[in-house]
Amino acid sequence: MRHSERHRSRHIGWLRAAVLGANDGLISTASLVVGVAASGTSRSAVILAGVAGLVAGAMSMAAGEYVSVSSQADTEGADLARERRELASDYVEEQAELVAIYTDRGLTPLLAAQVAEQLMAKDALAAHARDELGLSDATAARPMQAALASAMTFAVGALLPVMVSAVTPRALLSRLVTVSALLLLAVLGAVAARVGGAVMWRGALRVTFWGALAMGISDLVGRIFGATVQM
């Protein structure tokens, strides 16, 4: 019976996009709401800014991830096409490349030759993609998946400060948005660290620090520009 193991690296593609989207949505929208609120504008203006930031940010994240990961997919596709041509034109030389790779990893030349021969007999392109190019299903570029994950998680992260600003008294708006955003950032950081196999408190502290810094600067800028505009 084959033993099945679950490796954390299989989560790396969607996890990176999801965590980036949620953190960016929460930090950027909370900072936007705090900055606009600090300028002294009305609640409706703060909510409008938050909703606009949510929509614009989600679309920006989707477009950015799609373009970025598509470029990665294009590069992977070009490398695979080149390997396919090389296998068709010089199969023996390509097999020798695998033998050298396996020998460098510690196999004896004889065993390396046997492994290369058997793997290439089954799927030569897959063998070269994995062992020469370092490509695998777990790390393959998936542009649409990354775009959708980023957009959806950005929107989910951005929804908290918008909702808090809609139900919180105007006098407490900045304070409650900041506190709730920092608490959720700590949770997101801890969860991401847990899924990725890292130390939870370190992940929580990292994102909380940068979130607090972003909101603090936004609050300061909002107060400065708000006072300047109202003069």
Do 126 and 150 meet the contact criterion of CB atoms below 8 Å apart?
no
What is the pLDDT at residue 50? 93
User: How many C-beta neighbours within 10 Å does residue 75 have?
Assistant: 11
Compute the distance between CA of residue 61 and CA of residue 64 in angstroms, rounded to an integer.
5
Q: State the sign of the Cα–Cα–Cα–Cα dihedral 72, 75, 81, 86.
A: negative
pLDDT of residue 197: 74
Angstrom distance (rounded) from CA 26 to CA 216 = 14
Domain boundaries, the chain: 12-229
Tokens matching residue 200: 């939870």
pTM: 0.70
Positions in the chain whose pLDDT score sits under 70: 1-18, 136-140, 196, 226-231
pLDDT digits (tens, 9 = 90+) for 168-179: 888 889 899 999
Condensed to tens digits (0 to 9), the pLDDT of residues 68-123 reads 888 888 888 888 888 889 888 888 888 888 899 899 888 898 998 898 889 888 88
Measure the N-to-C terminal CA separation of the chain; round to a whole number of Å.
Answer: 77
